[in-house]
A and B are shown apart, each in its own frame.
Chain A
């Protein structure tokens, strides 16, 4: 399990965790490059079939694999520690391997650890 995580709020009830090493940049709406990357971004809430949260600001997450994702917000890791990792068996999903490999349980939230191939599908 990676030591560092970037925590993403995807929708009203779904939070995910991505290894720090997989994240290239995070772009907020005020960032200069945001408009350039926005048309290429895939909506992660749609990918996970979760309800988007319109009250979240919306950010772009550029991954090292070249994919670009639109998510609701990024949380600072320090604000959600400590966390305990548990695996999620793949047989709980209709399609295997499942999109979620595990869960980080924390006092301030629960975060799905996403299988790498899920975040690598869009470029």
Chain B
């Protein structure tokens, strides 16, 4: 399995790890605009560049209710998704997912990473998008999909 780099992000009382190539930016917290009659997971939207950026509420991840301090902006084939949560942190470059437990949470938590005293749940972003019902161009092999599938394949 290839070594990969991950960005850690805490949300909903959980520590999550995202492949660095799926992380587009990190923003200071700004209050999203709530949209009535939208999907339950949607906290609101942020101003983007031509298309509003959906914000996934922290409680989606579990019962924990973090204070929203930061926004982690993910991107998959040009489709952006912001996560509400705490401070992000970069894991060292030699991390690989361990203790694989596939399909434990709708299929997008695909393992854990242990580094020193830190453990994080590794998120497969394409499966997260699918679980949320977010459309993206899954025939587009640019933007981390190839790398994600290659290194997550067993």
Contact = CB atoms under 8 A, between A and B. Distances in A.
Interface residues of A, number: 23
Interface in B16-61: 33-40, 42, 45, 47-48, 50-52, 54
A99 B37 contact: yes
B35 A13 contact: no
14 contacts: A13-B34, A84-B47, A86-B48, A89-B51, A89-B52, A92-B38, A92-B42, A92-B45, A92-B54, A93-B39, A94-B39, A95-B37, A103-B45, A110-B33
A55 to B, nearest CB: 19
Given A103-B45, A105-B47, A88 B52 contact: yes
Contacts of A99: 37
Contacts of A102: 52
Contacts of A98: 37-38
A50 interface: yes
Interface string A3-34: 00000000001100000000000000000000
B135 interface: yes
Contacts of B40: 94
Contacts of B39: 92-94
Interface in B77-95: none
A86 to B, nearest CB: 5
A120 B47 CA distance: 28
Nearest to A96: B133
A64 B2 CA distance: 61
A48 B135 contact: no
B134 A91 contact: yes
Nearest to B47: A105
A91 B35 contact: no
